[in-house]
Amino acid sequence: MENFKEKPVIGLLGGVASGKSFVAAQFKELGCAVITADALAHEELLEEDTKAEILKHFGKEVFDENDRVDRSKLADRVFNDGDKLEILNSLIHPKVIKKTQVLIGEYRRDNSVCAIVLDIPLLLEIGWQSRCDVLIFVDTKESLRIERATIRGLGGGEDLRKREKKQISLDKKRDIAHYVVDNNSNVSAITNQVDQILSEILGKTC
């Protein structure tokens, strides 16, 4: 892997409920800035112009009593409807990507940040691997991912597999990654892996 001319951008890859956000949090503890697409999307759903578009396409039933978008209800509406999901993505994704680009620029100018971590669920699918200096695959066995997905209200094994069939395969994501974090062990072991990986990455920074 070649040396980086700028502050490295690290992209996280993995399956549904693989623990990418947990791994991202470990990088943050070590001085990295973390950009989380889900958090940016949540912020976007609070914007009045976005709420107006959501109302237009999905109706009042996806709003709560305080006139805020109910993410759970919205997810239920689009989960098994490809057309509705495409509409929602067209409304949210461009704005999230734009905010991500702005944040990358800000963090590159921030001397307190040693690297920038992207926690974007469909990073490969939207072609953002080309904007990353390093790709890390979070490897988590399916049974553990199903357990986590169920706890988070994302459905069971059948729902998880249905979602992943619409995405680039986990094998390809693992193959394209520069590093792999084994997320099947205890917190201490995962923290040590992240520490070692970041040390190697920063060792290649000019």
Total tally of structural domains belonging to the chain:
2
The last residue of a domain, from among 112, 127, 150: 112
Residues 46-97: pLDDT tens digits?
999 999 999 999 999 999 999 999 988 998 888 778 789 889 989 999 999 9
Per-residue model confidence (pLDDT) at position 206: 38
Helix (H, G, I), strand (E, B) or coil at 71: helix
Residues 116-157: pLDDT tens digits?
999 998 899 889 999 999 999 999 998 888 887 787 776 677
Higher pLDDT: 10 or 76? It is: 10
Residues 27 and 123 in one domain: yes
Domain span at residue 57?
38-112
Name the region of 155 (left: φ>0; alpha: ψ -120 to 50; beta: rest): left
User: Burial letters for 92-124: b for 16+ Cβ neighbours within 10 Å, e otherwise?
Assistant: bbebbbebbeebbeebeeeeebbbbbbbbbebb
Per-residue model confidence (pLDDT) at position 5: 56
Q: How far apart are CA 66 and CA 197, in angstroms?
A: 44
Q: Report the CATH number that the domain containing residue 122 is assigned in CATH.
A: 3.40.50.300
Residues 158-185: pLDDT tens digits?
777 777 777 889 999 999 999 999 999 8
Residues 120 and 199 in one domain: yes
What's this model's pTM, rounded to 2 decimal places?
Answer: 0.88
